[in-house]
Amino acid sequence: MIRVTLWNEFAQEIGVLPRELTPELNDEEYAHMEAFTKSRIEKIKEVYPKGLMGTLAEALAADEELEITQTTLFDKDFGLSDELLAKTDVLVWWSHILQNAVPDELAFKIVERVQKGMGFVPLHSAHKSKPFLYLLGTSGCLKWREDEFCRVWTVDPSHPIAKGIPEFFELENEEMYGEPFDIPKPDDNIFISWYRGGELFRSGCTWTRGYGRIFYFQPGHETSPNLHNPYVQQIIRQGIHWTAPRTWREKLDCPNILTPPEAKYLS
Amino acid sequence: MIRVTLWNEFAQEIGVLPRELTPELNDEEYAHMEAFTKSRIEKIKEVYPKGLMGTLAEALAADEELEITQTTLFDKDFGLSDELLAKTDVLVWWSHILQNAVPDELAFKIVERVQKGMGFVPLHSAHKSKPFLYLLGTSGCLKWREDEFCRVWTVDPSHPIAKGIPEFFELENEEMYGEPFDIPKPDDNIFISWYRGGELFRSGCTWTRGYGRIFYFQPGHETSPNLHNPYVQQIIRQGIHWTAPRTWREKLDCPNILTPPEAKYLS
Amino acid sequence: MIRVTLWNEFAQEIGVLPRELTPELNDEEYAHMEAFTKSRIEKIKEVYPKGLMGTLAEALAADEELEITQTTLFDKDFGLSDELLAKTDVLVWWSHILQNAVPDELAFKIVERVQKGMGFVPLHSAHKSKPFLYLLGTSGCLKWREDEFCRVWTVDPSHPIAKGIPEFFELENEEMYGEPFDIPKPDDNIFISWYRGGELFRSGCTWTRGYGRIFYFQPGHETSPNLHNPYVQQIIRQGIHWTAPRTWREKLDCPNILTPPEAKYLS
Amino acid sequence: MIRVTLWNEFAQEIGVLPRELTPELNDEEYAHMEAFTKSRIEKIKEVYPKGLMGTLAEALAADEELEITQTTLFDKDFGLSDELLAKTDVLVWWSHILQNAVPDELAFKIVERVQKGMGFVPLHSAHKSKPFLYLLGTSGCLKWREDEFCRVWTVDPSHPIAKGIPEFFELENEEMYGEPFDIPKPDDNIFISWYRGGELFRSGCTWTRGYGRIFYFQPGHETSPNLHNPYVQQIIRQGIHWTAPRTWREKLDCPNILTPPEAKYLS
């Protein structure tokens, strides 16, 4: 049984942008962002009436090896209490307009749990989430443009995350994310996306940090319906299985080994 | 000309452990650490009368392509003002007992400058420095034991950092750092160290973060004389050249590309 | 069920060095090698009365997911007929003094089957076998010396191949293989070995070629008893599971895609 | 001074397909290929009146650090005598319809020289050349279609090979090469190409084999004019500089180290 926590920012689904969670914005910027947020509630509700992670939760429900918990930024402890984190095997993360609302303290707790073995599956705009940035050490920068036709190519077809996925599949409408994508060299680059407007993007990549595995996957824009897409769902599901912990590390310590391994042979 | 900043913690050379810079220690721990620090002043002065970075600075002085600046944690702005950072091409970093005294704000400024192109050369115990940890995303954990015979093996002999370095060289006395070393997969693993006590360690590794290159090198314990060793000096010098910026990135931004590259072909 | 073929050179177990299989040796070299081979029959029989792969086959027998076939260079078709190869999921390979007796044609068939998905587990002196060299593209060169104490360190402890393996284990007597080891950058470097004589060696490494996975493991010298060691056996067994095919590729072809994927959208 | 050998198949420029160099073709296939070859002489002469490598040689002539030698499959010793190979620092390779005419013996000599330090720059259809395949160990398979609009994206902009290259540049007409491209994980993936027909391709990749570096670059189809393109020329030129040998390895041997490094400390 893999205990999966789906963490969702949820601000756009409910059209709420708390002033106190956006201290980095000045008043004008805040007013702009809030208006932007409110302007799209209907659209997002139409695409994801159950919320982005609600849709994903439904898709994952059929997998009997997964035990799903949903949580959001608006829940207690920013949705991720120490207790919940300690019971999470794989953390799936969606965030966008409130990336900075997640306290550094929480972000570093997530980092530490990944180092101990937890899987981490950041989706789409989580390329700018704190846990992603603190784990990878790069800026996560990229280009973007909404409303593009996207064709996802499988470039590492024997990877377990690509199992059963065709050579390519198409998403009628997705946000374009374009190269250069500022990430460390991936352990595996499984998918690359082609956009009709002329860009491309390494859209499915893995890394290892400590005992933990990370799988980033690009589709999942809030006004595009791609979390309903069966291939997207299958890839995320397989990403969860692939990042599921194999071994846990108890402590992140630097032991002082007073007795060298060779000591017993010297006498 | 490569502008090199040698950043040195310097606490042990002067035997000073400021209480206000060690808030993570309780009083008992602090008393222990302070006594420990004071107990070794003479030893460290004997090994490095000019300080660890002073020794390195002398060794690098003959290289006319390098312009060296020395600075310490005890200098203004923790030794690394915005002005100095903005003029640094390669940052060489030594820290140990005051890792946490470096503010997160400064650590993230260093991370950002690496992402824009600056080279970073953390030495020895800097495996637990904030800039190292925030760039790599792992815990940097390892095993350790003082006073070991060490043989450094060159396992990637055609790497520019290994140029002119023999198959192996020996350090009579170094602190043992032992595997498992919690680091992301290195881009290059150039050196592995053998210790007579029975351990081994990937002691010379590189990574890329954004436009910047990182070279970690293990030798450089404060009570071992290895920064006087010509091979150690040569490796660090070649590490500086290798991590020197090739291209700078101006801004770490995510531009919204309103006009697709294909647009001009559609009319 | 994983169909595992254990391919064994078997020349040393039986003390036979066929003249016609060593055309690269001149008469003097041949006489030397033959005398060397004969001089050690008793020793090898004592250590491996059932042969090297016979010992491994016994150790693997308890794993009900594995279906084991043993074969040797002296069997028909150099031990690997097209039929047997076509039914092999993972090929474990041990060879040494008759590396060149394997025809290029067979070596390339093995390469092709790996590219299609077969796992490949070369052991010990197979670092100079044709399949290993043709898959990796490097020379496989290393240093060596018989009869050394060896301590195998687990440097990637969360890797599936290292599951249950302690931080290190010791082999009283193994052939020393020493760095620099001429291999491409490994996908994973799981084990590094320490030798009392002063050398070290990246002794457990993986690579991917096409759909196939490769796991090289160093222990297994013909006059050292380490294929009887439970950890060595466990690592090889886990290496077999890890390299077992996940997806097969039918054909290694370069299709001419006359109709672009975008064609259906243009009309 | 870097001694660069431009090796060109040259069959299509002169419209010659020697029967004795295509033993793998049956008579019907041969007749087809020969007709195909002859049918395009005019076209290829129009695009490359001086031959593909002649065009490249002109472009490289201005670089005073390069000493260029041109040679073809039709020259003595298949264009690459032992003498010439021994004087080559970087080998640039273009081949297509006569890949199999290069003897295995020559291919393995090239492999060995790369392992000793020579740079290797296979272009375009050399993804199926023997030196490429024997160095990489994969099948080099890909998809293809002639006459496509291609946009080359720089995804590793701080790599020396990408120096001065814009975020993307466009080739009005190139042969489409499409993923999945059967290559080992690249050390660096510098360029990815977007094709208007809907495919994409990792078009600029590096690997290391022994002391030698390899840079594969996709543009260079015989009926497309892209070897005249300044960016393509600049990338190839920078690829030559980047793969130029840093250190040579004299011998590819496995020395028996009878005296352990630790011996001198035991007495």
Rounded CA-CA distance B193/C78 in Å is 41
- Residue A24's pLDDT is what? 87
Cα separations (Å) of A240 from A63, A92, A243, C223?
11, 8, 5, 45
- Residue A159 C-alpha, separation from nearest chain C C-alpha, in angstroms: 8
Output the CA angle C212-C218-C223, nearest 5 degrees.
130
DSSP C246: S
Residues C44-66: what's their mean pLDDT? Answer: 97
Cβ-Cβ contacts under 8 Å, C198 against chain B: 151, 168, 194
Residues C99-111: what's their mean pLDDT? Answer: 97
Whole-number percent of chain C with pLDDT over 90: 99
Of D112, D182, D255, the CB nearest to C115: D182
Give the lowest-confidence range in A33-37, C196-200, D120-124, D221-225. Answer: A33-37
Rounded CA-CA distance C122/C128 in Å is 10
The pLDDT of residue D267 is above 80: no
Question: Which spans in chain A are helix H?
Answer: 11-14, 27-39, 41-47, 52-60, 82-86, 104-116, 130-136, 230-243
- Residue A112's pLDDT is what? 98
Which is nearest to B159 in space by CA: D158, D208, D250? Answer: D208
Pick among D141, D154, D165, D168 to test the A interface (most A CBs inside 10 A): D168
Contact indicator for A25, A37 with CB cutoff of 8 Å: no
Q: How confident is the model at residue D266 (pLDDT cuts 50, 70, 90)?
A: confident
Q: How confident is the model at residue A266 (pLDDT cuts 50, 70, 90)?
A: confident
- Residue D209's pLDDT is what? 98
Question: Higher-confidence residue: B231 or C24?
Answer: B231
Of B182, B184, B257, the CB nearest to A145: B257
The pLDDT of residue A267 is above 80: no
- Residue C89's pLDDT is what? 98
Count of helices and strands (H, E) across chain D:
8, 9
Contact indicator for D156, C156 with CB cutoff of 8 Å: no
Q: Is A211 in Cβ contact with C261 (below 8 Å)?
A: no
> Mean pLDDT over all residues of chain D?
97
Q: Is C252 in Cβ contact with D139 (below 8 Å)?
A: yes
- Residue D7 C-alpha, separation from nearest chain A C-alpha, in angstroms: 30
Residues C141-168: what's their mean pLDDT? Answer: 98
Residues C12-30: what's their mean pLDDT? Answer: 92
Of D210, D212, D247, the CB nearest to B163: D247
User: Which residues in chain D (16-55) have CB-CB distances under 8 A to chain B?
Assistant: none
The pLDDT of residue A216 is above 90: yes
Cβ-Cβ contacts under 8 Å, C199 against chain B: 153, 194
Residue B149, chain C, CB below 8 Å: the answer is no
Of C151, C154, C179, the CB nearest to B153: C179
- Residue C266's pLDDT is what? 87
- Residue D112 C-alpha, separation from nearest chain B C-alpha, in angstroms: 15
**Look-up: residue for tokens 């108890």?**
A250
The pLDDT of residue C267 is above 80: no
- Residue B266's pLDDT is what? 87
Amino acid in position A12: Q
**Pairs of residues, one from chain B and one from chain C, whose beta carbons lie less than 8 Å apart:** 48
Encode pLDDT of D192-215 as tens digits: 999 999 999 999 999 999 999 999
Residue count of chain B, please give it.
267
Residues near A220 by Cβ (< 8 Å), separated by ≥ 6?
A52, A94, A123, A124, A125, A226, A227, A232
Of A208, A249, A261, the CB nearest to C151: A261
Is the preceding omega at residue D186 within 30 degrees of 0, hence cis?
A: no
- Residue C216's pLDDT is what? 98
The pLDDT of residue A22 is above 80: yes
User: What tokens does A182 get?
Assistant: 């500022």
Residues near B232 by Cβ (< 8 Å), separated by ≥ 6?
B171, B217, B219, B220, B226
Encode pLDDT of D135-154 as tens digits: 999 999 999 999 999 999 99
Give the torsion through C-alpha atoms of A129, A135, A137, A139, to 10 deg: -20
Rounded CA-CA distance A102/A24 in Å is 12
Q: How confident is the model at residue A252 (pLDDT cuts 50, 70, 90)?
A: very high
Digit-by-digit pLDDT tens for chain B (267 residues) are 999 999 999 999 999 999 999 988 999 999 999 999 999 999 999 999 999 999 999 999 999 999 999 999 999 999 999 999 999 999 999 999 999 999 999 999 999 999 999 999 999 999 999 999 999 999 999 999 999 999 999 999 999 999 999 999 999 999 999 999 999 999 999 999 999 999 999 999 999 999 999 999 999 999 999 999 999 999 999 999 999 999 999 999 999 999 999 999 987
Rounded CA-CA distance C71/C76 in Å is 9
- Residue B24's pLDDT is what? 87
Cβ-Cβ contacts under 8 Å, B218 against chain C: none
- Residue B241's pLDDT is what? 98
Encode pLDDT of C208-241 as tens digits: 999 999 999 999 999 999 999 999 999 999 999 9
User: Which residues in chain B (70-129) have CB-CB distances under 8 A to chain D?
Assistant: 117
Cβ-Cβ contacts under 8 Å, C111 against chain D: 137
- Residue C117's pLDDT is what? 98
Q: With 0-12 CB in 10 A as exposed, 13-18 as middle and 19+ as buried, what is C74?
A: middle
The pLDDT of residue C31 is above 80: yes
Backbone φ, ψ for residue C69 (5° rounding): -125, 130
Q: How confident is the model at residue D24 (pLDDT cuts 50, 70, 90)?
A: confident
Q: What predicted TM-score, i.e. pTM, was given to this entire model?
A: 0.98
